[in-house]
Structure 1
């Protein structure tokens, strides 16, 4: 009973995270569109995010950096969506099933993609920032560890499905 309550609470939190990340992604995208016609908007793109140095340096580079941020936030929102989907399809009576395993695998791959995006973003920003002495706003690149842990859990669930199937065939 306690596990069900915790999972229900986590399901609500994952929906809140999903909605919040969708809003964040949309806000950055809309702010970018506003900044196309108003370069002053690049000074406070979203919650104090100042990309005006990049805007003044090169609009194309500014666009790349904003695109990375939108892609990163959208990927985070997608991961939160997958978690909500996982928590809604999870059956505690039979937790080892192929839907759970596939969703966990999708979450793992999405986090891996997030890590790659963060690395590309950080390398690009560092290159331009060091070359021109700009301030840097980097993403954490610790996602690889999380992706690995979830992938390991996915393999455990996959093995659980195999054992469960063998037991069902034995009976």
Structure 2
């Protein structure tokens, strides 16, 4: 995938309806499984390849997953969840974050950790009139995550979360 991987808005919208979308025009989507994030924050996290596919799954009104495949290999796995206000999602995901490599606190949302191969961001919100927390967990699943330098990858993950979190909150109906 080259930097020409831009513009899958329609396919991403279909992804929400059909559960999967495919790009034959080799573009990075402007929406990630229906969440309009723009292609710029996602592009640095995707390996080179020729064909990009997205697969979204709704696991209920409060939980969903999104997988991005490049040339049929999963490159990104993302979950969005609305959880109760008393849960500490960072503590719940402590072991998973440790497996992603050296998680460090980041200034995204109300709490966030950026690791070598993934990240988590949490934001308090009101969901259906009740105080809740919105949680995004992203895992770079490619055996050779990009960008290659870990420091650049961490910056790219943080940039992605800054762009994605507010749009995902809105898409899930979680109000700040």
Alignment TM-score, normalising by the size of structure 2: 0.28
Q: Rg bigger for which structure?
A: 1
Identify the structure with bigger relative contact order (alpha carbons < 8 Å, sequence gap 6+). 1
* Structure with greater strand percent: 2
Alignment TM-score, normalising by the size of structure 1: 0.28
